[in-house]
Amino acid sequence: MDDTTILTMTDIVKEFNGIPALSGVSVDVRRGEVHGICGENGAGKSTLMKVLSGVYPHGSYSGRIDFDGHEVQYRSINDSERDGIVIIHQELALSPYLSIAENIFLGNEIQSRGVIDWDRTNKEAALLLERVGLDENPATRVQDIGVGKQQLVEIAKALAKRVKLLILDEPTAALNDEDSEHLLGLIDQLKDQGITSIIISHKLKEIRRVADRVTVIRDGSTIETIDMAEPDANEGRIIRAMVGRELSSMFPPRAPDIGEEKFRVENWTVHHPVDPSRLVIDDVSFSVRAGEIVGFAGLMGAGRTELAMSIFGRSYGVGISGTVFKDGEKISTRTIDESIRNGIAYTTEDRKRYGLNLIGDIRVNISAAAVSRLAKWGIVDGLQEYQVAEGYRTSMNIKTPSVATLTGRLSGGNQQKVVLSKWLHTHPDVLILDEPTRGIDVGAKYEIYGLINQLAAQGKAVIVISSELPELIGLSDRIYAISEGRITGEVSRADADQETLMHFMTAGKDDVR
């Protein structure tokens, strides 16, 4: 390794329970450059950074990492920080009730024999704040400053650790335009001061603005490293490298029978629950017809789940406005109960956290969303409940000896079938399925696709949210692309290919219309 290269990662392979997350990634980062890393959801970007920083210790992966002239074998995040590698995550890790200065030196206190030197701490903090261009008193509590400024505090904290390689994971995802612009400017300044940065981002425009070179990762492998100084290096080139994931599943045959409009949402707007000044969903309108499967494509943080949850009983967000129609009539979805009674069902992307009672058996999980259907005077008819659950166990092919099995003991695919059964038992007309095949094996995926087709064939309106573009293209009659809380494109099945979708999914909000 020559002196112009600060980091080389060679043939990194990392598996989880035998399933490869990284299958031979190689990256080299030059001293003093800004290096972009791009890839779809699940391409392996975060895993790669966790390998680099020692979150996954040496030995749990194979391959070689060289940093600053010699091979390194980090066992923890402390090891990598000692060498000057600092990651700033998308979810900021500051303590809200401590001051800016206290946060900057948290775990790295200026002290003698356990006693903190506050004068020096505040003075050093003020100098660091000047370096990152943040005009705030170091004694201000972190919770009293905005997210954009908090991001700068994180960078000041990294500088306090004498950072050599700064890694920023989706640094502008939570920032407004002004703060984003300031941050990108700061990254340029730090480059002039000799600090190398890796920036992971879905926002290709920003990548083009700051990055000197870009490495694209797809399906756990390095596709190529693009020198952004080359004349043909633009967003289109990056997108072409990002997409093209293999079609890993087969799709059951289906003859769509699409009827009248079933479900329509107009001018849907949602604000962030913690920071109400931030728009999460910005004036979104869409419709689904009876018997139609409509896909929603979007990268992490685009607002797909937020859109679905805000519609379903306003279970996400504040300051929600907009109108929901079913069969042409305006309906209210103000509470989850009301949404269910109006024939809407939503299966969550995180079934273990939001979808199932894992210490309850299959029977009580299936009846959970509509137990009053099985009850008279508040008393549950256990026999009928059993028969209903048993019926779904058979028709959905939930592989378990009886409905008395705890759902926590089922495989991911069978758990998802329980979740689907629960929602079918509410007799919905509109189903919103959020990542319906996440974390389940190929065979179970095929079965879930078959079930989704069946639901459409019964004349229900089906919405599928998925991070896997081949899945969306294989299933959907129509696909909406969503980016930064807005619908940036609508593609019919015939025109849908990964590159087109990715163009829409990475479009900034200024590119709309």
Check binding of 378 to another protein (CB under 8 A).
yes
Here the tokens at position 415 are 């758990």
DSSP string for 213-256? EEEEEETTEEEEEEETTSTT-SHHHHHHHH------S-------
CB nearer to another protein: give 168 or 410.
410
Cα distances from 137 to residues 128, 141, 159, 287, in angstroms, run 12, 9, 18, 50
Stretch that binds another protein, among 80-88, 96-104, 339-347, 450-458 (CB under 8 A): 339-347
SS3 of 193, please? coil
Check binding of 372 to another protein (CB under 8 A).
yes
Q: Show contacts with another protein in window 422-461 (CB under 8 A).
A: 422
CB nearer to another protein: give 7 or 364.
364
Q: What are phi and psi of 433, to 5 degrees?
A: -110, 110
The binder of another protein chosen from 48, 307, 356, 440 (CB under 8 A) = 356
Stretch (H or E) spanning 71: strand 70-71
Check binding of 379 to another protein (CB under 8 A).
yes
Check binding of 384 to another protein (CB under 8 A).
no
Residue 450 · residue 264 · CB < 8 Å:
no
Q: Round to whole Å and give the CA distance between 347 and 349.
A: 7
Check binding of 360 to another protein (CB under 8 A).
yes
Stretch that binds another protein, among 53-61, 263-271, 274-282, 387-395 (CB under 8 A): 387-395
CB nearer to another protein: give 348 or 483.
348
Query: Within 13 Å of residue 254, how many CA atoms lie on the same side as its CB?
Result: 25
Check binding of 18 to another protein (CB under 8 A).
no
User: Cα 262 to chain center, whole Å?
Assistant: 29
SS3 of 51, please? helix
Q: How far is the CB of 398 from another protein (least distance, A)?
A: 9
The binder of another protein chosen from 196, 197, 201, 400 (CB under 8 A) = 400
Check binding of 380 to another protein (CB under 8 A).
yes
Q: Which of 79, 70, 11, 20 is nearest to 44 (CA)?
A: 20
Q: Show contacts with another protein in window 116-155 (CB under 8 A).
A: none
Residue 298 · residue 272 · CB < 8 Å:
no
Q: Which of 489, 454, 497, 503 is nearest to 472 (CA)?
A: 497
Check binding of 336 to another protein (CB under 8 A).
yes
Check binding of 390 to another protein (CB under 8 A).
yes
CB nearer to another protein: give 337 or 497.
337
Check binding of 337 to another protein (CB under 8 A).
yes
The binder of another protein chosen from 87, 173, 210, 410 (CB under 8 A) = 410
Q: How many residues bind another protein (CB under 8 A)?
A: 46
Axis-axis angle for helices 442-457, 412-424 (nearest 10)? 10
Check binding of 315 to another protein (CB under 8 A).
yes
In the complex, the residues that contact another protein under the rule CB under 8 A are 313, 315, 335-337, 339-340, 346, 348, 353-360, 364, 367-369, 371-372, 375, 378-380, 382-383, 386-387, 390, 393-394, 399-402, 404-405, 408-411, 414, 422
